[in-house]
Structure 1
Amino acid sequence: MLNGYDSSSFNAIQGSDHFMEYFHHASPSVIGSVNTAYTVGGIVAGFFVSAPISDRFGRKWTMYIGAGIVIISSVIAAFTPRDMGGFIASRTITGIGQGLAMPAGPVYINEVATANQRGMLMSLWQVYFGIGSFVAYWINYACSENADKLGNWDWKIVMLFQILAPIIIITGMPFCPESPRWYIQQDRTEDALKALSLIRDDPEKIQAEIQEIQQAIAFEKEMNPGRYSPLWKDLAIRYRFLLACGINIGQQFTGQGSLSMYSTMIYKKVFTDNKQIQLINALNGTFSIIFTLNATWMVDRFGRRALFLIGAAGMSVCMFIVAATVTETPEQDDGSKSKPVGIATVFLMFLFALFYKPSWGATVCIWTAEVFSMNIRAQAIGMATQSQSISNTILQQIFPIFLEKKGFYAMYMFGAINIVLFIYVYFLIPETKGVALEHMDTLFGGVDHAEKGVEIVQHDSKGHAVELEEVNERVDKKEATV
């Protein structure tokens, strides 16, 4: 939700005459720089800061810190002087907060979820991106309806409401247990047992899960020590890391990254009324929630690969058709397109979202967050997901200029890219449905970490792992409470 609101808020306020006047009618390249600053802040924090904090202090503290930074940046954005430099600085700080909090979220969800529920729970993560976008667009629509009364507050209110999701995070996380896997990695097995007992209801399964986690982590400490080096030294880990970067870069090049950031500018090529455009954005945010909910029942039923392939094919068709619809039809005297063309454009954009949301929207996050072993999970997820930001930085800087000069011909490019993504998934991406985190390495040419860790755990004389008998005794003590 934090990401959904922040990603949509600046797109929403670009249609405000008061915002453009306040910042002296910034050029498209300056508008691109605002979005670039946001993503660069996320890249720096996601690559270099989030994982060390997450591994040292836990997943929860990383989310706390990121949420707190976004609150500060929201206030700066709303009350910055009439200088785009101050607004750009606020977006950079927002990106830093996002870069800290965002990688820790999927890491946490995957480490507390069971294998058969992991896909569904991670798809809900993406649903709440839609909810954040929904809130941003409807707040902006309400403000645009009252723009004359609100004046500059028609966009300042939108920016101030960025504090909503961080407040929910900061007030809600104390009621959640820390990741049991993180506790075991810190040699705090008793705490891991308590945490797991809060989110599992079968003592025997708790016992087995604790044992498998210990075995896998013991193997990783013995055979793949280090936080970053295994990403390059271990062939199986390096292979999946490159695959993960590939699908995360591909997610932005589907066209969705540009649509979410610049839909206001895109629709201005078809419509002239800002209120109409903001209503379309708000409705898109509403339907995005419904579309993403499809992933909650599809991803663990049909698998990750099927959604990737169907999504890429559907998005490609939508992009080719919408490009032809807009570029091959004449403009009216006021510069807009005819009503039938406008309706067809909105329908195709919404159809694009229908294909994108449960597939390359939700499933990229699911696949990326579940394929890495514990010792490099936070680092790999942070770096792979921030490869989205790197690709998005390029698109955000060039897309508004491209759109201004070439219009909807840009959509032909996205259609072709989606064909490439279909081929990429078909030949390279393995299915991960129902595979436990501790057994994931076998899909990428590696060994089973839990299986190989059995002997290490049983013969560990240094006390780095707790013996099975000790785990059994502790589980028995907790059984009544469970």
Structure 2
Amino acid sequence: MPNKFGMSPTRAYNWYISLVAASCMVLYGYDASVYNAVQGSKHWVKWFNDPDDNMIGLINTVYTVGAIISGFFFGGPVADYLGRRAGMGIGAILVIISTLLQTFAPKGNLGMFMAGRIIIGVGQGLALTAGSIYIGELAPQEIRGKIMSLWQTFYSVGSFICFWVNYGCQKNIASSGSLGQWDWKMVVIFQLLVPILIVAQTPFIPESPRWYVKKGKTESARSSLSRVRDTEEEIENELLMIREAIEFEKEAISSTYSALWKDKSVRKRLGLALIINAGQQITGQGSLNSYSTKIYQKVFKSASTIALINAVNATFGILFTLNATWTVDRFGRRFLFIVGGIGMAACMLIVATVETQTPTLPGGAKSHPVAISIVFLLFLFIFFYKPSWGATVWIWTSEVFSMNIRAQAVGMSSQTQNIANLIVNQFFPTFLTNCGFYAFYMFAGINVLLAVFVYFFIPETKGVMLEEMDAKFGGVNHVDKGGDLLGVEDAHHADAAKASEKSHVEHVQEVRS
């Protein structure tokens, strides 16, 4: 029976399993913030013998290398051969192992700390690939964008947890002696919480019905669908369309990596996905995630003040990302990309001008009004970034590829984020030291170019069914072709999205009456 908001138990269950999968993004958000946070700890700096700017960048880079290797070469195969749930679970277990390595690295043993960073990158490469595919494949068509927006929201949740833990440690942990080390160790070890929850829940949520059909387990697919769809008609219609699409892909298209360049429409999608995923990280947000502590050290002198700003920023990040839940299916993906790009460019242009054209106080900080203005502008930047190039990049990437190459393509596309991060974050600490806030003019120009790119090259995917996405990019309709192979004459699937939404509404009305 639906609740007072008109949501059936099945629809509520859809949200629950999506929250479990989206928790994989908490791992990413927490880790992207944890290294940022520990850089502000004088105990961490002393424990590892005061690493210089190049070493600071290298510690970020080794994590990125682990994530890239995992995402490109292991994330897709693991999700395809072992299942989406296994990909999430194995990734979470690796995060647990790496967290312990980083926390208990002996004094001066930066190699062990960096080994933990590499392993956490590998784990996240597995979990992020499997988790994003899982949500895209189980979410009902009419609310796919809303549910997938949780993905980026949970990145912000990870940052939120990390920065508030860090702020609490900065304010309360002993400032000297052996206990002083726990101002950074507590921040690192708290990363155990979410992967433990993921490992505990993944065995009990349904596997992707698309994965079951690909493995020839039709009854298992029907059982999975029965847990996430309201009516028998929805279950059978969707199962038929999945079977039709996968039958065509099995007969006419390769399911190996070679399929990524054999089909012109797939090559087009992959190229676009690679660009927008790289673009996500060169907007300036990737550098803010990793180095906001160092950035704010040019404006503020108090470590606890910087920790508080990072924590408040992460809090607003959650609220701003939630804007995607009501905008992405209402206004579409292209609209958010373009408006977000223009808004971010304006913020970067103004913040660079404010900081570089105002006097610096003798202590190296800025005056209070200037400092507040800079914080406000960087908060405004994430207001534009979170629902657009934050959430919508993941939504668009997870929905544009057909089942036969979805795991490989999503894994490869999402890891271009880390390739871009590897390049930018390796040189950004030195760039910031030498050029200061003039670096932000570069990000302003990049964001303008990204908005222009979307306007000319990115098609709208709102409301397009996953199995019929190929036709949107100039390819054949896998459902129609698969129906021919299976000898299905009824073309009811042509209006599947509308039928699915209508059946859900009718079901809710029936139960109410």
| Residue 268 (structure 2) aligned to one of 233, 236, 239 | 239
- Aligned with residue 390 of structure 1, among 412, 419, 426: 419
> Residue 94 of structure 2: which of 51, 60, 69 is its match?
69
- Residues 193-212 of structure 1: matches in 2 within 5 Å? 193-212=222-241
User: Partner residue of 2:155?
Assistant: 129
Matches within 5 A, 1:49-448: 49-81=74-106, 82-149=108-175, 150-448=179-477
- Letter of the aligned partner of 2:457 in structure 1? L
Q: Which amino acid aligns with 1:97?
A: G
Question: 3-state SS of the aligned residue for 1:271?
Answer: coil
CA distance in 1, matches of 2:95, 2:392: 26
Distance in 2 separating the partners of 1:218 and 1:60: 23
How far has the Cα of 1:245 moved from its partner? 0.3
Matches of 1:227 and 1:407, distance apart in 2: 46
Secondary structure of the structure 2 residue equivalent to 1:148: coil
- Distance in 1, matches of 2:203 and 2:154, equals 20
Please, which moves more after superposition, 134-143 or 46-55?
A: 46-55
AA of the residue aligned to 2:316: F
Question: Take 1:221 and 1:71, find their aligned partners in 2: how far apart are those partners?
Answer: 37
Residue of structure 1 in register with 2:67 after alignment: 42
Distance between the aligned counterparts of 1:308 and 1:226, measured in 2? 31
Q: Following TM superposition, by how much is the alpha carbon of 1:173 offset from its aligned partner in structure 2, in angstroms? A: 1.4
Structure 1 stretches (4+) deviating beyond 6 angstroms? none
Greater mean alpha carbon deviation, residues 146-155 or residues 69-78: 146-155
In structure 2, what is the Cα distance between the partners aligned to 1:203 and 1:227? 33
Distance 2:254 2:116 in 1: 38
Residue 86 of structure 1, CA deviation: 1.4
**Matching residue's letter, 1:356:** Y
Partner Cα distance (1:175, 1:64) in 2: 12
Task: Give, in whole Å, the separation in 1 of the partners of 2:385 and 2:295.
Answer: 18
Q: Any idea what the Cα deviations from partners look like across 1:377-411, whole Å, max 9, x if unmatched?
A: 00000000001111100011000110011010010
Q: CA deviation at 1:164?
A: 1.1
CA shift, 1:78, in A, is 0.5
Partners of 1:148 and 1:333 lie apart in 2 by: 30
Given that residues 67 and 418 in structure 2 are in contact (C-alpha distance below 8 angstroms), is that contact kept between their aligned partners in structure 1? yes
* Contact 2:149-2:324 within 8 A present in 1 as well: yes
SS in 2 for 1:343: helix
Residue 466 (structure 1) aligns with: none
Separation in 2 of the partners of 1:227 and 1:123? 29
Q: Give the Cα separation in 2 of the matches to 1:407 and 1:134.
A: 26
Aligned length: 461
Q: Say whether residues 1:20 and 2:20 are aligned partners.
A: no
1:23 partner amino acid: F
Q: Give the secondary structure class of the aligned counterpart of 1:381.
A: helix
SS of residue paired to 1:158: helix
CA distance in 1, matches of 2:48, 2:486: 62
1:32 to 44, 57, 77: 57
Counterpart in 2 of 1:9? 34
Residues 162-198 of structure 1, C-alpha deviations (whole Å, 9 max, x = no match): 1111011111212210000000000000000000000
| Deviations 1:90-141, CA, capped at 9 Å, x for gaps | 1111101111111111100011011111100110111111111100000000
Q: What do residues 56-82 of structure 1 show as CA deviations (whole Å, max 9, x unaligned)?
A: 110000111110000000000000012
Per-residue CA deviations over 1:421-450 (Å, capped at 9, x if unaligned) read 011000000000011100101111111110
Structure 1 spans left out of the alignment, 5+ residues? 460-482
Question: Letter of the aligned partner of 1:62 in structure 2?
Answer: G
Q: Is the contact made by 2:260 and 2:270 (CA closer than 8 Å) also made in structure 1?
A: yes
Q: Secondary structure at the match of 1:152?
A: helix
> Residue 469 of structure 2: SS of its match in structure 1?
helix
The range that moved more, 143-152 or 346-355, is 143-152
Deviations 1:15-54 (A, max 9, x none): 0010001111110110100100111000011111111111
Q: Distance in 1 between matches of 2:133 and 2:400?
A: 11
In structure 2, distance between residues paired with 1:217 and 1:147: 56
Give the whole-Å Cα distance in 1 for the aligned partners of 2:202 and 2:77: 20
Instruction: Give, in whole Å, the separation in 2 of the partners of 1:42 and 1:4.
Output: 14
Q: Is the 8 A contact 2:79 2:129 kept in 1?
A: no
| More displaced 10-residue stretch of structure 1: 440-449 or 310-319 | 440-449
3-state SS in 1 of match to 2:322: helix
- The residue type paired with residue 66 of structure 2 is G
Measure, in 2, the Cα distance between the counterparts of 1:232 and 1:70: 33
CA drift at 1:84: 1.4
Deviation at 1:287, TM superposition (A): 0.4
Q: CA deviation at 1:88?
A: 1.0
Distance in 1 separating the partners of 2:255 and 2:242: 18
Partner Cα distance (2:307, 2:173) in 1: 12
Q: For the Cα contact (< 8 Å) 2:57–2:427, is it kept in 1? A: yes
2-side partners of 1:53 and 1:384: how far apart?
Answer: 16
Match of 2:502 in 1: none
